[in-house]
Every structure is written in C-alpha cells, then in structure tokens.
Structure 1
Amino acid sequence: MSVVLAGLPLLVVIAALIARQSTGRSAVFGLVAAVLVAASTFGFGWADAADTLRGWSVLVIEVVLIVGGGIAFAEAGRRNGDQAVISGWLRGRLGSGLAPALAVVHGVTPLAESLTGFGVGVAISVPLLVALGFRGHRAPVIGLLGLCAVPWGAMGPGTLIAAELAQVGFTEFGVMSALLSLPVFIGAGVTAALVAGGDGRRLRAVVLATASGLVLWGSIWAANILFGTAPAGAVGAAVTLLVHLLVHRLRGVKLAMTARELRALLPYGVLLGGVLTTSVLVRLADAGDTAWRHLSSPALWLAVAVLVTLHAHLGQLRPTLRHAGATWWHVGPATGLFIFLGAVMAVSGMSDQLADALAGLGEGYLFLVPFIGGAGGFITASNSGANAMFAGPQAQAAATLGASVLPVAASQNVSASLLTMATPSRVELARRLCPDEPEMTPVLRPVLGFTLVLLPVLSVFTVLVA
C-alpha cells in the first residue's frame, strides 16, 4: 500500500495533465499530494518541509532565473531584429536540399535551443526552413528533429535538476548524457535526411547525416569535458554549424558578414564567451563548491546578453521584460514546483519506496528506464519536469539493483528530452509557423515514430553501460 501512496503524487500530475490542466496547476496538485502523503504516511513534518525548502531553494532560484533569462533573450533578439538578420544571413549561405536540412537539425536548432530553450529553437528554425524551400510537413518535421540536444536546452537546467536528484556530479552527468545521445543525434539526422528528400541517393544522404551527427556528438562531448555541462550544447552546435558553413565555403560560398550581421552575433558571443570564460576560471580556482560558481551561471550571462542586445534600443527593455514575464509565468513557477515535488519525494522516503518497487523487476528494469523517462518527457513536455518527477526514483532503483547510477540517470535525462519533440504542444507550434499550416498527423507521425524507434535503442545502450 505504501508503494501506491508513494506513487500517488505522480499519478495526480499525470491525471491533471491528461485532464488538460495547465502544467503549473498540475504541479501544484502533485506537490500538495506529495506533502499530504509524506506527512500522513512517511512521517514528514513541518520541520522537514522547511529544511527541504531551504536546501533546494538555491537550485530552484537558479533554474527559474535561467528559464526567464532564456525567454527574455529570445524576445530581445526578436524585437531588435537580430534573429531576422542572422536567419537571413544563414539563408544566403546554406543553399538548398540536404545540406541545409542537416545544418539546421545539428546546428541552428540545437544552438538556439541551448541558448534559450523551451521550443524557441523551433520558432527560429521552421521559418528558416520554409525560406530555404521546404514545403508542406517537411519544414516543421525537420525543425522538431533539431530538438535532439534538449538535455542542454536553456543552458541545461533540466540536466542540473536530474544531477542533483540523482546525487551525481553535474559535469560527469553531462558527459554521460552526451555519450548516450549518440544514437539520438545520428537518428535525428538520418530521419531529417529522409524527410528532406533530394536527388534520390539515399545511401549518400544517410552517410552525410551520420557524419553530421557524429560532429555534433563529438563536439558536445568534448565541450562537456573542457567547459562544463551548461554551455556544452551551445558550443557543440556552434562547432557543428561552423563545420557545415566551412564545407559550403570550400564549394565557393562566401561567408563574409556586414557590420549589422556582426552586431547581431555580438550578444550570442557575450553569452557564450561569458559562460565559457567564467566556467574555466571557476574550475581553475577550484571554486566550484563556493559562491563564486554563480559567476559562471547562465542566469547571470543571459541577463547581460539581454542588456547587450537592447543597448541601442533601451526603450524596448520594459516591453521585452513584460512579454518575457508573461511567458515565464506559464513555465517558470511550474518548473520550480516540479523540483520541490521531486525533493519532497526524495527527502521523505517516497522515492525509496518507488525505487524498491522498480528494483523488484530485476535486471529487466534497466531496459525500461528510457521508456519511463520518455513517458515523463511526453507528458510534461519538459525534461525539467520529467527529471524532477522520475530522476530520483530511477537513480535509487539503479543503486538498489547494484547498477551504476550515472548511466541510468543519464538515460532518464536523454529519453525524457527526446520525447519532448513529439509532444502535441511542440508539434502544434511547429506546424503553425508554416504559411500553409500542414495537418497535425503528417507532422506528428515521423517525429513520434523516430522517438519510439530510438527508445529501445537507448534501452540497449543503458543495459550495456549500466
């Protein structure tokens, strides 16, 4: 009976979301259920609740500030025209056919999503794909497949949540998530190549897609090691996009930029450069466990990047923050509440109960890890929410079985992120960005099919590594 009660908060969240309640309201229902069950069954008192609130408040504040900063940065770039300028420059250099599709899937969308998060990468890439000549369902499908690096979306708050709940190092966790993302990156590229069509040479398309995916995988893996997890997705995607552009340069395409185009890139350089430089300095000073680590927080540098973006348009600062605040209200508080939900379940012992039940499945449980994570990602449309719900129990179940916690938690992270690209809200956003607004089914079918094929592949990877 205690196992059923331990899982009740998660069931409450799932039921609320199925009933089409907002994410925030669903998180409130789940947190209230968790507190009531923890108090009535697991001896979780007010003192425990206060300690949990204090212990997790720093993480929650950092995560919600990263979320708000990413939204504000995207809105600032839209208002001052930087996004349009950069998209126009890319449109003139990528050409048409397979090459630009792969550049978007492994470069443009992951870069935009890593810097901002929450589907902004799709909002930038789909109009670009339409301008590059992709019609019908192809533009939204290719744009959604670019959400293959969501573990590093918005500078990685969802991955940070999972690392904290699984009690593993953030950098080590990012490296393992990168390793397990290999089939995701290659699979997204191959699927995009098949959707993009072209001259009919499918073998060539698959080979090029695989090579592009390997570049993204190697770049993100190396960036995790060299610079830390938070900026790794942006760095890896930027390197991959640069490789694609250099290939076009070898074919005679000029990569020169005007002064306006260079100014449009400046805020991105400040954001990435700031996070990278301070991350290295904090690591060299061995100050990762001190207050100095906040100097390398994406929350700080996103705020700086917003000011740099609007330095010549300060009149747009207030409407930008107003719009960002309204958008943040739909996702920020819910993210924080999901973190507290996971913390209450972990501290009270509810996660232990769920972990024991999962471990009771034996070694076969490891094969199910990505399916549990994927279900969380599909239900919440957020790897932050999915990790807050399931990362703790999954990690503890692995420990109970005597398996390695790090790859199991990373599998949860990667699979939860994978299924966010197939959620109805993301699919609806992608198709509505197209002038002809294709039907839902032709967009959803290839994306959902890709994710469902990848889940058993991730299961095999999880069993082998764990």
Structure 2
Amino acid sequence: MIRNVSMSALLPVLALLPVLVTIGAIAARRSTLVAALLGLGTALAVAALAFPAPAARWSGALGQWLPVLLEVLVIILGGLLLSEAMARTGRQERLARWVGGALGSGPGAALAVVHGVAPFAESVTGFGIGVTLAIPLLVRCGFSSRASAAVGLLGLCAVPWGSMGPGMLIAAHLSGTGFRELGIATAIANGPVFVVVGLVVALLTAEPGRRAPALLAATCSGLVLWASVLGVNLLVGTAPAGACGALATFAVHLLIHRLRGARLHADAGLARAVVPYAVLLGGVLATTAILALLGAADGPGRLLGSPALWLLLAVLLTTRPRLLTEIGAAAARRWVHVGPANGLLMVLGIVMATSGMASSLALAASHLGPLYALVLAPVGALGGYLTGSNSSANAMFAAPQAQVAQLAGIPLLPAIAVQNASAGIFLMPSPAKIELAAQLCPDPQEARRALMPVLCAALLALALLTAGLLVLQGMVEG
C-alpha cells in the first residue's frame, strides 16, 4: 500500500521532468532545438519507464498528428519564404517607404504601426518580421531608439495569428478544441491586449500636454483592431484574421490621416509590392469561402485553403524564377533554426498527451481547484517568454493546460484561449525579441531601455486575462 501511494505521488514529478529539462536548457542559454531534443529524449525515457501505453494508442496518435505536424512545418517554411522574397525583391522596402510617407509623425503614426503595420507583417510571415519592419519605419518617423523599440515590440500584440496561425493550430489540436472556435475565443481574450499596448504607446509618444487625446485615440485604435480581428474570425476564418484585422485597422488610420489633409500617392511600384500579400490573403479567403459553401471546410479539402499552400503559391507566382533558388536557400537556412525546434516541441507535447504524462500533471495540479485560474495565464506566459515562440509555448503547455482546466472546473475553450493569448503577450519582452529590437535601432543601448514599458504592458495585459478568466469561472459556478 505504502509503495503504491509513494509511486502515485512520484508519477507527477516524473511527468514534469521533460518540461523542467526543456525550460532548464533554455534558461541555460541552450538553443531551442537542443532544449527540445533534451526534453523529448527525457519524455520518451519517462514514458517507457513509468507511463507505458499500448502500441495501438501510439499508432493512432501518429495517424492523427502527422498531417498536423507537416502542415505546421510547411506554414513555418512558407512564412520564411515570403519574408525572404519580400526583402530580396525590394518589395518590403518599397512598402516601408510608402507607409512612412503616409503616416507622418506623432502618436497617430505610432498607433498605426502598433495596431496596423506590425501586426499585419507578423500575421502574414511571423518570426519577428513585424518588429524588423516596424522599427526602421518608426526611426524614419522621428521617434527615439527607446520609443521605436518599444512600439515595434508592442506591435507583436497579434502573435497568436502570426504566420497565419500555426501556433493556434497546435493549441487547438492538443487541447481538443476546434481551430475556428479557438480563434474566436482568442480574439475575444486578446482584446484587452490590443487596448493596453495602444495606451502604453500613447504614453510613450505623446507630449505631456497632449496625452489625454492620445489615450483616447489609442483606445479607439485598439478597439478597431479588436473588432476587426474578431469579425474576420467570425465571418471568414481564423488563419487570415490577424492579417485582415490589422489591414482594416491600418486603413482606418490612413483614412483619418487623409481627412486631416495628408496626401496618399500610389503608383505601379507600390501595386507590384503588394501583389504577394494579395495572392496570399485572396487565396486563403476565396478558398475558405468556397469550401464553406461546398460543406467541405472540415474535410481533407480544407488543405486547399490552408496558409501552407497559399504562402508557397504567393512566392512562386510573384517571384522571378532566377531568384527562387536564392530565396529558397536562404529560407531553408533560417527554417533549420526554427522549424525542427517547433516540430520537436510539438512532438514533446504529443508524447506527453499520448503517454498519460499530461493527465498525471493535470490530476496533480487539479488539487488547486478553481484557484488554478490564477496560475493558468502565467504558465502560458512562461512558455512564451522562454521559447520566444507562440507555437513552441502551445506545443509545450496546451495539452496539460487543457486537462488541468477540465479537472479544475475551468471552461476549456476560454482556458486555452487565455493560454494562447498569454503565450503571445510574453513574446514581447522575451530576451531574444528585446535584443532583436535593439540591433535594429541607431542606439542599441538606449533601445534596451524599452524593456520596462514593454514588460509593464505585458504584465498589465496578463493581469486582465487572469481577472477575466476568474470572472468567467465565477459566472459558470454561480
């Protein structure tokens, strides 16, 4: 009896080992790939020793997860290909010049970047491209290195939809929620994030005597992005919601600038620069609509509307053949650093879920009961902060969070939406992103001082997510 009790107490500790090994390796400044390998190796060893599962369960998991894993890896590659193509063809620079000329300066320009330009770039490509596009643009608009770095980092506010949503796809499958349903729930949860980052940007960029109107503009801008992202999730689908929502918000800012007398000049060069984005968004939106009309949105045919396909087509159809080899080689080199790591972390999550390790952790954590709602968002934030990737954070924590939430009586869909949103929030102050922002500024030392306002925004948004989850839980229990 004593042995059985001690073994049952030991199982959650063993189940936690793969996560601790992965986090420890990242904290020790090992690469995410090495951390993922160590974590996965530990998980396989623990599964073999303490969580044996029948072969049928493993083969079923392989059949269920292999298509999802491949889709995620192709989406990541497609985002990198599009990023390289936009940079090497000069289209990104052409767009940046036009945007800089259209926005002018002041808080209005910063809000257009944080709620429009950066979220759009991040949503269609991912991997911090929103930061690399936004910061040089902000420096051109006359902002200091500190303000440029902070606004650029806060522009990662729509990271759950980054690269057309592979992180969301991982979270949906690992938690057993629907992709579209999770997209809608995350859009609702992420609303306060949009508003908070806008308010911090207003405080950073407005003159002391002009902060009240800037804060009002920031609130309105955040609400427009919130409504746009939620509306696209509801009416069209999850994958293009971040890009379309940000594009709509940027259009509102341009309209306001135009009404104030700004002149917006468009030419053939600008039209050519936006063609890849038009192919990507047009393809995803049109195919998704057609599949919905045919009733094939949930079958194998849904891959025709996947960003995996349209990211590749956007590059192939809009890039000169002689550049494709160069672009493909550069994207492949970058993919080696991010693709396998994300894939291995996803496999780690699958192994933990299939073997029963996630269930063991969930059972142990469920003893907190409703109080686990206080822990759920910080756990997601820890994943985002350490890995610097929404996909990786969801791969590590979505399955355990889902099981704990169910055992603790927390509504599943909102819980995973909070996990998804909180992981995205803490990418903003993560060490890798702070250093990326600093290197893009004229004064890197001053730019590193952006950490404090970005961290304050992240902590405030995290507190609001936790408070919202507690209120929702209280309503369900009441």
Shorter-chain TM-score above 0.5: yes
Match of 2:375 among 368, 386, 396: 368
In 1, are the aligned partners of 2:362 and 2:403 still within 8 Å (CA)? yes
Give 1:405's aligned residue. 412
What's the TM-score once normalised by structure 1's chain length?
0.97
Task: State how far apart, in whole Å, the 2-side matches of 1:443 and 1:357 are.
Answer: 39
Aligned-partner residue type, residue 77 of structure 2: G
Q: Equivalent residue of 1:420, what SS?
A: coil
Q: Can you give the 5+ residue segments of structure 2 that lack an aligned partner in the other structure?
A: 1-9, 474-478
Task: State how far apart, in whole Å, the 1-side matches of 2:264 and 2:307 are.
Answer: 29
Aligned-partner residue type, residue 211 of structure 2: R
Aligned-partner residue type, residue 436 of structure 2: L
Task: State how far apart, in whole Å, the 2-side matches of 1:276 and 1:159 are.
Answer: 18
Residues 1:7 and 2:16 are matched in the alignment? yes
| TM-superposed deviation, 1:210 | 0.4
RMSD over equivalenced CA pairs, Å: 1.3
Match of 1:94 among 103, 108, 112: 103
| TM-superposed deviation, 1:256 | 3.2
Aligned-partner residue type, residue 243 of structure 2: A
Give 1:332's aligned residue. 339
Q: Equivalent residue of 1:403, what SS?
A: coil
Report % sequence identity. 48
Say how many residue pairs are matched.
Answer: 464
Q: Equivalent residue of 1:438, what SS?
A: helix
Give 2:428's aligned residue. 421
Aligned-partner residue type, residue 290 of structure 1: G
Give 1:254's aligned residue. 263
Give 1:144's aligned residue. 153
Match of 2:283 among 274, 285, 296: 274
Deviations 1:143-165 (A, max 9, x none): 00000000000001001110111
Task: State how far apart, in whole Å, the 2-side matches of 1:394 and 1:374 are.
Answer: 12
Give 2:399's aligned residue. 392
Give 2:450's aligned residue. 443
| TM-superposed deviation, 1:30 | 0.8
Deviations 1:282-332 (A, max 9, x none): 12211123221100000110011112331xx32211111101000010000
Aligned-partner residue type, residue 206 of structure 1: L
In 1, are the aligned partners of 2:196 and 2:460 still within 8 Å (CA)? no
In 2, are the aligned partners of 1:77 and 1:309 still within 8 Å (CA)? no
Residues 1:216 and 2:225 are matched in the alignment? yes
Task: State how far apart, in whole Å, the 2-side matches of 1:256 and 1:442 are.
Answer: 36
In 2, are the aligned partners of 1:180 and 1:411 still within 8 Å (CA)? yes
In 2, are the aligned partners of 1:80 and 1:309 still within 8 Å (CA)? no
Deviations 1:213-238 (A, max 9, x none): 00000000000011111000001000
Match of 2:85 among 57, 76, 93: 76
| TM-superposed deviation, 1:199 | 5.8
Q: Equivalent residue of 1:106, what SS?
A: helix
| TM-superposed deviation, 1:71 | 0.7
| TM-superposed deviation, 1:107 | 0.1
> Mean Cα displacement is larger for which, 380-389 or 438-447?
438-447
| TM-superposed deviation, 1:249 | 1.1
Task: State how far apart, in whole Å, the 2-side matches of 1:44 and 1:388 are.
Answer: 21
In 2, are the aligned partners of 1:39 and 1:45 still within 8 Å (CA)? no
Task: State how far apart, in whole Å, the 1-side matches of 2:311 and 2:205 are.
Answer: 34
Task: State how far apart, in whole Å, the 1-side matches of 2:70 and 2:472 are.
Answer: 33
Aligned-partner residue type, residue 193 of structure 1: A
In 1, are the aligned partners of 2:384 and 2:426 still within 8 Å (CA)? yes
Give 1:453's aligned residue. 460
Aligned-partner residue type, residue 132 of structure 2: A
Task: State how far apart, in whole Å, the 2-side matches of 1:199 and 1:278 are.
Answer: 49
| TM-superposed deviation, 1:448 | 1.4
Give 2:247's aligned residue. 238
| TM-superposed deviation, 1:422 | 0.8
Residues 1:42 and 2:51 are matched in the alignment? yes
Task: State how far apart, in whole Å, the 2-side matches of 1:384 and 1:135 are.
Answer: 32
Aligned-partner residue type, residue 95 of structure 1: G
Task: State how far apart, in whole Å, the 2-side matches of 1:278 and 1:86 are.
Answer: 26
| TM-superposed deviation, 1:38 | 1.0
What's the TM-score once normalised by structure 2's chain length?
0.95
Deviations 1:44-79 (A, max 9, x none): 356544443332111111001111100110110101
